[in-house]
C-alpha cells in the first residue's frame, strides 16, 4: 500500500527529470547558487493551496513559509520557525512584498470553531491558540459563501489578525517605515479559485483580479 503511494512520487520525479528539467536547465543553472525572490508568501499547510499553480510563479519566485492556519505567532521570548523565516526574508533576501494568505475550508479555523477533536493533539491545540485573534476581526457574512459563511468570515478574520501580527514583527515594521516592504492579506477560495485581497481602507475583502 505505502509502496504504491511512493511509486507515484518516484514516477513523477522521473517525468520531471525527463520532461521538465531539460527545458528549464538554464533557469536552474542561474538559481543553483543564489535566490532573489520578491515575495514572501505565508500560507496554510493545506494540500489544496498550491501557490505556484494559482499565481503562475515558479522556481526562485516565492519565499514560502507554511503552517496550520497561516499563523504569525505574536512575538514572545521564544523563537519559532515562522518569525525566523520572516526575519530572514525581510533582512537578508529583502523581499518587496509579504503576502499572508488564508483559504476556504481551513481545518485550523474549523477546529477553532467547534473546539473538538484536539484532545489527542496537545501541540496542535497550543498552536491554535494563535488563531484566537480571528474572532475579534471576523468579517461580515458573505452570502456567496453559502452554508460555510460563518467559517469563511472567521477565516477572513484570521487573515486580518495574522496581518497585524505580521506588521508587528520588528523587521517588517522597520522595512515598512523605510518604504521597502508592502504587506498584503489574501483569502483564497478553493471552490472558485478566486483570491480576495483585504482592503485596509474599506476594512473588507475585495476581488484581487477585479
Ligand atoms: Zn488551512
The one catalytic residue among 5, 15, 61, 103: 103
Active-site residue among 13, 15, 48, 180?
48
pLDDT digits (tens, 9 = 90+) for 58-90: 999 999 999 999 999 986 677 889 999 999 999
pLDDT at 121: 85
Unique residue bearing C-alpha cell 505580521: 166
Q: Whole-number mean pLDDT of the chain?
A: 94
**What predicted TM-score, i.e. pTM, was given to this entire model?**
0.94
Tell me the mean pLDDT in the region 21-45.
97
- Using alpha carbons, list the distances in angstroms from residue 140 to 131, 154, 193: 18, 9, 21
Residue 200 has pLDDT above 70, yes or no: yes
Residue range 141-147: mean pLDDT, rounded: 95
Residue 46 catalytic? yes
pLDDT at 2: 58
Active site residue 44: yes
Identified catalytic residue from 4, 13, 15, 44: 44
Model pLDDT, residue 42: 98
* CA distances from residue 60 to 31, 64, 100, 186 in whole angstroms, order as listed: 7, 11, 18, 21
Distance 21 CA to ligand 1 centre (A): 31
pLDDT band, residue 113 (cuts 50/70/90): confident
Beta strands 97-103 and 182-188, pairing class: parallel
Q: What percent of the chain has pLDDT over 70?
A: 97
Q: What is the pLDDT of residue 44?
A: 98
156: annotated active-site residue: no
- Residues in the 5 Å CB sphere of ion ligand 1: 44, 46, 106
Amino acid at each position: 500500500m505505502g509502496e504504491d503511494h511512493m511509486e507515484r512520487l518516484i514516477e513523477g520525479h522521473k517525468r520531471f527529470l525527463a520532461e521538465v528539467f531539460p527545458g528549464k536547465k538554464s533557469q536552474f543553472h542561474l538559481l543553483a547558487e543564489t535566490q532573489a525572490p520578491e515575495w514572501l508568501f505565508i500560507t496554510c499547510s493545506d494540500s489544496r493551496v498550491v501557490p505556484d499553480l494559482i499565481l503562475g510563479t515558479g522556481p526562485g519566485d516565492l519565499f514560502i513559509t507554511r503552517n496550520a492556519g497561516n499563523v504569525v505567532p505574536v512575538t514572545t521570548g521564544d523563537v519559532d520557525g515562522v518569525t525566523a523565516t520572516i526575519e530572514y526574508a525581510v533582512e537578508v533576501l529583502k523581499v518587496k512584498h509579504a503576502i499572508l494568505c488564508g483559504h476556504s475550508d481551513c481545518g485550523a479555523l474549523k477546529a477553532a470553531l467547534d473546539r473538538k477533536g484536539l484532545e489527542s493533539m496537545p501541540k496542535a491545540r497550543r498552536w491554535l491558540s494563535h488563531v484566537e485573534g480571528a474572532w475579534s476581526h471576523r468579517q461580515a457574512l458573505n452570502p456567496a459563501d453559502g452554508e460555510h459563511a460563518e467559517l469563511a468570515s472567521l477565516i477572513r478574520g484570521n487573515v486580518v489578525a495574522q496581518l497585524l501580527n505580521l506588521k508587528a514583527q520588528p523587521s517588517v515594521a522597520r522595512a515598512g517605515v523605510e518604504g521597502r516592504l508592502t504587506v498584503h492579506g489574501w483569502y483564497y477560495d478553493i471552490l472558485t479559485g478566486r483570491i480576495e485581497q483585504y482592503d485596509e481602507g474599506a476594512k473588507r475583502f475585495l476581488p484581487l483580479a477585479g
